[in-house]
Amino acid sequence: MALGLFRVCLVVVTAIINHPLLFPRENATVPENEEEIIRQMQAHQEKLQLEQLRLEEEMARLAADKEAEKEALERVAEEGQQQNESRTAWDLWSTLCMILFLVIEVWRQDHQDAPSPECLGSDEDELPDPEGAPLRGLTLPNRATLDHFYERCIRGATADAARTREFVEGFVDDLLEALRSLCSRDSDMEVEDFIGVDSMYENWQVNKPLLCDLFVPFMPPEPYHFHPELWCSSRSVPLDRQGYGQIKVVRADEDTLGCICGKTKLGEDMLCLLHGRNNVVHHGSKAADPLCAPNSPYLDTMRVMKWFQTALTRAWHRIEHKYEFDLAFGQLDTPGSLKIRFRSGKFMPFNLIPVIQCDDSDLYFVSHLAREPGGGTRASSTDWLLSFAVYERHFLRVTSKALPEGACHLSCLQIASFLLSKQSRLTGPSGLGNYHLKTALLHLLLARRPADWKAEQLDARLHELLCFLEKSLLEKKLQHFFIGNRKVPQAMGLPEAVRRAEPLNLFRPFVLQRSLYRKTVDSFYEMLKNAPALISEYSLHIPSDHASLPPKTVIL
């Protein structure tokens, strides 16, 4: 009951308080401003609606951009996947091509020294057709014609080769002995015995006058010695320096393997057993070697040639009273080219070439050659050409022992050399030389069986030799027989560094000199074209006197 009365009282009090007459009319202006407030609220509402529309448009645009970006990402992903697939396919194809090229290169390296099947021919080549075999539309003389030509022309022209060698060797022995007598062992070069090389000592010399090539090794005086450096000992060597080397002049006290008494300070109570107190090697007292290049420890080829020319002149003046002939230099650009002039007007040329032995091998660094085997020019005066002439002579000697009696290998080389020399006189010298002919023959000797070199197979082997040269010319590639050729028997004693070196292409100048290559190819085919007529002409004009001809010579 009390609660109900309380609620009634509360309602009455509330009504009284909220009655408008109880308080002043402070808000009497509200109805007057109501329209303004309504307009503002409507304007605000319109702004909110416009903002809402703008936001909705912005949201729609963002959604569209997002959708477009999503589609673009999907397209990029698809394109990337396609590129990855194509790249994978390309990488696979490249790998397969690389493997294929590698297999071809390995196969080519295994067969590069062997003649092509067309050049080697079949077993029928051992019994060739009497009319000769064609070589790119050209016909070579048959076997009977070649035998007749060889007997009449070549063997007769080289009948006095042995007497020529004997005379030249006797004179050179006397000349070098006089040179040694003029030299001081303490300050001058020590000249060793000569070594006979090339065609006269391999018994395939054809052209007259007969020419002897003699190597003359020399050594420096003590305490110097030569330290050869091969081109294959360095990884970064230009192509034009392959086949060359340098000779460093080293003092004994500068050599790491020599005595160390000049490098360390010995006590007063210590004495070197190699050098006495009066022969102490003073550190830093380096004498300038007159044969080295300026400001260089390497031997200079030009200075060596001048020294050798001067030494030969002094030696000849010492012994000229003993002989009834004159000695003169044959070619100005070849200091070792000498010529004996007899009172009858005849002359006898020969070459003395100063060389340096490469370590303990039969390789020799040559200061100069009348014509370098590679057909190029040396890059620097400190570059020495590496000669394999002694190894070539040794290989021919060993191979000849395994061939049948009267083998035709040297006859092939002689006929080819004869044709080349006659062609050179007609059209001038080309890029093909006798060294290339001999290199081709060495490759064929290594590839062919000994039984294939019988005397009756002369025409077949000559055809094969010319075919090998033709193939090499067309490919512009004739590999050096010893450098990088692992098929050479190890019994030859070739240095391992040379055996494992990169093969040296003797026809590399043809790649750089197109005019020389064109002239060489034209001259080669013209030589083949003129061969039958040339052989017939020389066979008719040379008198036949078989009884006076000596038997075929063999390698000594």
Q: What is the mean pLDDT of the segment spanning 230-237?
A: 70
pTM for the model: 0.69
Radius of gyration, alpha carbons of the chain: 47
Q: What is the pLDDT of residue 282?
A: 42
- pLDDT attached to residue 166: 95
Contact 218, 191 (CB under 8 A): yes
Which of 162-171, 187-196, 245-254, 360-369 is the least confident region?
245-254
What's the rounded mean pLDDT across residues 263-291?
Answer: 51
In this predicted structure, what is the pLDDT of residue 15? Answer: 63
Q: Tell me the angle at which helices 514-541 and 409-427 cross, rounded to the nearest 10 degrees.
A: 110
- pLDDT given for residue 405 in this prediction: 93
**Annotated domain spans of the chain:** 115-254+289-548
pLDDT tens digit string along 106-135?
A: 666 555 444 444 444 433 333 333 333 446
> DSSP secondary structure string, 135-172?
ETTEE---HHHHHHHIIIIIHHHTTTHHHHHHHHHHHH
> Of 246, 242, 245, nearest to 479 (Cα)?
242
Q: Which residues of 221-259 are buried (b: 16+ CB within 10 A; e: fewer)?
A: eebbebebbbbbeeeebeebbbbbbbbebbbbbbeeebe
Greatest alpha-carbon span in the chain: 177
pLDDT digits (tens, 9 = 90+) for 323-338: 999 999 887 667 688 9
Tokens for 178? 């006089």
Specify the 3-state DSSP secondary structure of 553.
coil
Most confident of 155-164, 166-175, 377-386: 166-175
- Higher-confidence residue of 439 and 122: namely 439
- pLDDT of residue 270 exceeding 70: no
The burial class, CB within 10 Å (0-12 / 13-18 / 19+), for 532 is middle
pLDDT, average across residues 79-102: 74
- CB neighbour burial string for 98-131, b if at least 16 within 10 angstroms, e if fewer: eeeeeeeeeeeeeeebbbeeebbbeeebeebeee
Tokens of 128: 């060739």
Q: Who wins on pLDDT, 172 or 56?
A: 172
* pLDDT given at position 59: 86
Residue 394 has pLDDT above 90, yes or no: yes
β-pair partners for 339: 328, 349
Mean pLDDT of the chain: 79
Arithmetic mean of pLDDT, 372-381: 58
pLDDT > 80? residue 389:
yes
Highest mean pLDDT among 61-70, 120-129, 156-165, 452-461: 452-461
Residue with the two structure tokens 């010695």 = 225
- The percent of the chain in helix, strand and coil, each rounded to the nearest 5, is 55, 15, 35
pLDDT at 379 over 90: no
454-495 pLDDT tens trace: 999 998 999 999 999 999 999 999 999 999 999 999 999 999
Is the predicted pLDDT of residue 215 greater than 90, yes or no?
yes
Burial of residue 337, with CB atoms counted within 10 A of its CB: 0-12 exposed, 13-18 middle, 19 or more buried? buried
Residue 255: both structure tokens together: 């050599």
More confident residue, 103 or 221: 221
Measured CA to CA in angstroms, residue 69 lies from 54, 62, 63, 81, 144 at distances of 22, 10, 10, 18, 90
371/248: higher pLDDT: 248
CB 181 within 8 A of CB 173: no
CA angle (209, 301, 498) in 5-degree steps:
85
Q: What is the mean predicted confidence (pLDDT) over 70-85? A: 76
Q: Please report the beta strands in 380-501, taking only residues with DSSP state E, as ranges in sequence order.
A: 384-387
> Which region among 78-92, 275-289, 415-429, 482-496 has the lowest average model confidence (pLDDT)?
275-289
pLDDT, residue 73, reads 80
Which class does domain 115-254+289-548 fall in?
Answer: alpha beta
According to the model, what pLDDT value does residue 233 have? 64
Q: Is the pLDDT of residue 367 over 60?
A: yes
